[in-house]
Structure 1
């Protein structure tokens, strides 16, 4: 904000820095321009060329002061670390990964307008010991170097481990061809895990770069090494004071690893293929603090799950991403940022550190209103992120936001962002279950819901009968989202639910954006039996309740993580023929990973809808085909969130009645 021609005031820090005449000239004109004052002596001003003067969001190339050791950063690297223990070899997973990497490495992310990626790549295989590969372009064949002492992890080679893919393509092809055969006769079933991450950190340190580890792992690390885990899955703890321990990661080695990874800008993405309990809460701890992702494929089979996994891998490798990021949120007087939720690491109360930040992650910020806000000037907030691009350039990205302030509660409720609210409540509840019993957390959620709605009824709504439930227009769907949240796996105390699945969902939600939590908590239920094949539009979703299903209908349900095609028992034979090329549903057998490609308008339209949804979502979704009244339908029904929960939890109408009673008690 300009005070005079040479002095300005920062709305965040309330300081008055000196401003050069040239810069002040532009800000003065910009200020007057916005006040609709015409200045005849200023004919051409370049403030529109200065993003900080004319845009709310902009980026700067950072100076050396913002680079480690005052040197420009090197481009990041990707290391692919493949578990070659017995199960992964016999299932065909290792061969599937190696075959896919031959084509996927051609599509490494690159800056717009650049011909090829500058990201370097490296390869490690492991079971109880680690194998590093020299893939230097000058070699005719790759060379393996083994590290068996996992207690003191180091990288046995520097030159030839991290290479440019284009330069070393032939050697890398040979390696990827050889790996499945190299371990074809293995009987080793024990694995290490923490030393694998440590090896990646050491490699990035040696290369003086940031980067990402892609770890493909299948079992709990039980080999004698740092980070060895023991089975602590105890269903007796469910619905007790100690249930929270099931979500808490084991301390020590992994806690230090998270710190080391963030310091080096080492992001960890974990692809898990478990057939039993693996202690997800601990194994996913490093990814969840380094801006990473965790993908989980239970009882993986190449035939039915292969394409599902490969879709995730392709998106993960190719997505837009920045590394070695640090973020700070500033505000004007009257309120301040007090808490942060995401796949982040915090060493203090203000700096949000992320080894990487990608296009699918979000950080949720809680603000506390602790002083008077000025209705005339409004409230200002700024989010600044310092990060390294995929080409190795240090940049500073700034987002500035100006918000109106009001002393009228009715204005606050009118402007309420329900989707953002539910994202915040989900993340705060999922963090709270690390320290509090589930019942306490759910009671707090209900209490907060009732208090918000009671406050509106008391201060904003027109007088009406006490028996009438009054909801703000902007919050009409808030109770259905809140009820759905309380029926999610992490908040339902049921021994029938997998502890690892519950921990996985808890950690996934912590990094989700608003749109993703909205979809997770209220899935889309799309009728497909009356398709207009000539229309480009997606059929309108219906309410997520059994009441909306029809015996003669076909519905697609998706929530960003799961996808079902539900078929009513009276589905018309011509519909079944068009979709499956079968005379009736009775002929539909076993698992079908994808719909058959048939040359008719209905088949093309349905497959197009499914493809567009898979493309749009951050995660791949495995299509599960469910016939009405078959046993697998029970899994589908737990996603009908307006109905009573299969593992506990009220229907939407019952919850609404309960909240209404709570509101009436608060108002009496």
Structure 2
């Protein structure tokens, strides 16, 4: 949930500079948790000066006084806090759940609400232009919605609506007096308006039958030959603008399903380039969109964020659509992005199946509305860069119109004042959100770390996974502001510099030729090599620009666990499993196969192998096994064997030899 790149924090910025390691936090604030203490209290105890929530790392001077672990202010203990809510005892505040759990959730009192909690509102925008309909995606989306209408997060007030668009925008009126939904077409996309003030967003429970009728009808209404002429235009910009007006009054989630750019709408106009350049920052296209166009989508997102609306995008495209520009709408509204290149129900059924599975998760996962997250740290530490999808409202406050359990964030830290007099420092992330049931809650995560006085203490306590996760997000920023080549060089330096610094801390005469790596960083060279071969940063391999951009966006917005599977998948052999050494779960022995190196030498023609990439699982069946089907998709596994040599990249052995040369 909450981890630091350094598990022992240097006591000065000079020491941090000396060890050459990145210092930051990676946070998964809304992670699905199997056990989460929930407290309902009339008064939530916080520091009167810095507003830190009371936590296990405060110190009680006596039962009626406690010292804040962030700013060290002494606070009075509220009378109510002296009563234990579970044991019903009195006078032992340090035993309360708030002081014994580093992650806890409060049911917020009235003072934490600017307005009454709003109902969950979902507005789905679906591209019905010719190229979109040809993919067959509309049937998949409508079927998934029909299957999961009852699982959409919300309560009896939940509202839902639908817009479709091609060269025009189509509204669907679902009122009680109608036997079936009524489609209203607005063709003046230069001056969009809402054609009727009512029954475009309807109560899901009260109008469920009409919603189901519409979802059954949409694939039949919009077919590739439903009309005499082929509509190849996509008024996405107009649809987003009117969706903002429609949903903005109550907040919620706007879900866009575009396949190509808005070609017909002046304010969101983008020219599609059918060429696919490979290099550059985002990979600058020959006809890059102007700053004005990109700023348009950013402004749209900020307007949505101010109205507590998030924009989630699902991209299906076989040609270049400039995801870099469109993604601004999701990035600054705290939305989500999904990408299915060349999806087609007939020609690419794998992507179609993946969309169906992803929608199952997307439509039923927990969600928080009207969210803000503030990160606090001990006096002397400072926050200077955030990573993820959000709008920064102030130096330590993120505005998140929506928060979901698959969203991750990171932050870079610096040491402004010496921590010499401290034995430990603390960090706290507080997420204030509204549940889909309309309840205001505060989820608080607190982390406490010791202070290190020597380089050895720092090097022996590095979280390698957190380091690589943070470096990947920083490398994406460098790619955008400079170039991919600069980002690759920065990642190499981020590996070489700490190892040089570590070697200097070893006693003279102990070091000979070789690569000296502290145990905590033993996997860093492997992970850096994986990043250099990742689709986001690789060179010398033909990579479609939108593929590269989405790979970068994924690294920016994924939590550490998901990101690491994306960077370095786990490979297992699964055709010779044994119960020996397995785990016992509910009385059953679950085999635990060994993780294999990501190299072709780990494979055999007679074996079956599982590649775990986090969001995707691949099974490779050897050609000599009875189940072999000689699939044309074998390259999906073989391309992830990052420890092998390719025409444009080194093997792991060659990479380590090259690293040794850089260290001498």
TM-score normalised by L of structure 1: 0.81
Q: Distance in 1 between matches of 2:98 and 2:265?
A: 55
CA distance in 1 between partners of 2:83 and 2:93 (Å): 6
Q: Does 1:177 align with 2:216?
A: yes
For the 8 Å contact 1:247–1:503, the answer to whether it is kept is no
1:127 aligns to 2:171 (yes or no): no
Please name the residue that 1:300 is paired with. 343
Note the aligned Cα RMSD (angstroms). 2.9
The aligned counterpart of 1:353 is 399
Partner of 1:335: 381
CA distance in 2, matches of 1:85, 1:538: 48
SS in 1 for 2:411: strand
Task: Name which structure has the greater RCO, CA cutoff 8 Å, separation 6+.
Answer: 2
Relative to 1, partners in 2 of residues 1:91 and 1:239: Cα closer, same or farther, differing over 3 Å?
closer
Q: C-alpha deviations, 1:52-78, integer Å up to 9, x for none?
A: 33332222233444333xx21212211
Q: Is 1:228 matched with 2:269?
A: yes
Deviation at 1:22, TM superposition (A): 5.2
> For the residues of structure 2 that align with 1:230 and 1:244, how far apart are their CA atoms?
11
Cα pair 1:118 1:390 within 8 Å, conserved: no
Q: Counterpart of 1:263?
A: 306
Pick closer, same or farther for the CA change 1:8–1:530 going to 2, 3 Å.
Answer: closer
Deviation per CA, 1:88-147: give whole Å up to 9, x if none.
33443223322332221121125xxxxx66432111111122222222345322122333
2:608 to 554, 567, 577: 554
Q: Is the 8 A contact 2:123 2:247 kept in 1?
A: no
Q: Does 1:82 align with 2:126?
A: yes
1:238-257 equivalent positions in 2, closer than 5 A: 238=279, 243=284, 250-257=293-300
Which one has the bigger strand percentage?
A: 2
Higher deviation after alignment, 250-259 or 237-246 = 237-246
| 2:49 counterpart residue number | none
Report the counterpart of residue 389 of structure 1 in structure 2.
435
Query: What are the within-5 Å matches in structure 2 for residues 437-476 of structure 1?
Result: 437-460=483-506, 463-476=509-522
Q: Residue 429 of structure 1: CA displacement?
A: 0.3
Deviates most, 3-12 or 382-391: 3-12
Q: Is the CA contact 1:325–1:388 (under 8 Å) kept in the aligned structure 2?
A: yes
SS of the equivalent of 1:144 reads strand
Which residue of structure 2 aligns with residue 12 of structure 1?
Answer: 70
Partner Cα separation in structure 2 for residue 239 and residue 383 of structure 1:
36
Structure 1 residue 247, shift from structure 2 partner: 11
Out of 428, 442, 452, the position equivalent to 1:406 is 452
Taking the aligned partners of 1:307 and 1:117, their CA distance within structure 2 comes to 31
Q: Confirm or deny: 8 A CA contact 1:450 1:662 kept in the other structure.
A: yes
8 Å CA contact retained: 1:95, 1:180? yes
Q: CA deviation at 1:357?
A: 1.3
Distance 2:278 2:259 in 1: 25
How far is the alpha carbon of 1:19 from its aligned partner?
Answer: 4.6
Aligned-residue offset at 1:473? 1.0
Question: How far has the Cα of 1:477 moved from its partner?
Answer: 0.7
Unpaired stretches in structure 2, ≥5 consecutive residues? 1-58, 580-587
Q: How far is 1:424 from its partner?
A: 0.2
1:605 is matched with none
> 2:425, 2:448 within 8 Å by CA — same for their partners in 1?
yes
Shift of 1:636: 3.5
> Using the alignment, how far apart are the partners of 2:301 and 2:160 within structure 1?
22
Instruction: After TM superposition, give the deviation of residue 485 of structure 1 in Å.
Output: 0.6
Partner of 2:562: 516
- Find the residue that maps to 1:520 and give its secondary structure: helix
What SS does the aligned partner of 1:450 have? Answer: helix
The residue that corresponds to 2:41 in the other structure is: none
Aligned CA distance change for structure 1 residues 389 and 158 (closer, same or farther; 3 Å)? farther
CA 1:540/1:244 → structure 2, altered by over 3 Å: closer, same or farther?
A: farther
1:163 aligns with 2:202: yes
Instruction: Go from structure 1 to structure 2 and tell me whether the alpha carbon gap of 1:122 and 1:488 turns closer, same or farther (over 3 Å shift).
Output: same
1:31-180 aligned within 5 A: 44-45=90-91, 47=93, 50-68=96-114, 71-110=115-154, 118-180=157-219
CA offsets 1:23-49 (integer angstroms, 9 cap, x no match)? 4x579xxxxxxxxxxxxxx96447478
Alignment counterpart, residue 205 of structure 1, candidates 248, 254, 267: 248
- Other-structure match for 2:658: 658
Q: CA deviation at 1:166?
A: 2.2
1:611-632 CA-to-partner distances (Å, cap 9, x unmatched) read xxxxxxxxxxxxx4x2xxxxxx
Equivalents in 2 of 1:243, 1:469: separation in Å?
38
User: Retained in 1: the 8 A contact 2:313–2:330?
Assistant: yes
Give me the whole-angstrom Cα distance separating, in 1, the residues matched to 2:599 and 2:655: 15
Shift of 1:161: 2.2
Contact 1:124 1:131 in 2 (8 A): yes
Change (3 A) 1:460 1:330: farther
Instruction: Write the distance in 1 (CA, Å) between the matches of 2:367 and 2:337.
Output: 16
- 1:131 and 1:66 map into 2 onto residues whose CA distance is 39
Are 1:282 and 2:325 matched, yes or no? yes
Give the direction of change, closer, same or farther, for the CA distance of 1:381–1:589 in structure 2 (3 Å limit).
closer
How far off its partner does 1:393 sit? Answer: 2.2
Rate the CA distance shift 1:379–1:52 in 2: closer, same or farther, 3 A.
Answer: same
The answer to whether the 8 Å contact 2:468/2:528 transfers is yes
Q: Is the 8 A contact 1:247 1:434 kept in 2?
A: no
TM-score by length of 2: 0.81
Structure 2 residue 638 is the aligned partner of structure 1 residue 642: no
**Using the alignment, how far apart are the partners of 1:387 and 1:644 within structure 2?**
48
Q: Which runs of 5+ in 1 are unaligned?
A: 28-41, 111-115, 580-584, 592-623, 627-632
| Number of residue-to-residue matches in the alignment | 586
Q: How many angstroms apart in 1 are the aligned matches of 2:492 and 2:178?
A: 65
Report the Cα distance in structure 2 between the residues aligned to 1:371 and 1:489, rounded to whole angstroms.
Answer: 39
Distance 2:89 2:231 in 1: 77
How far did residue 649 of structure 1 move?
A: 2.9
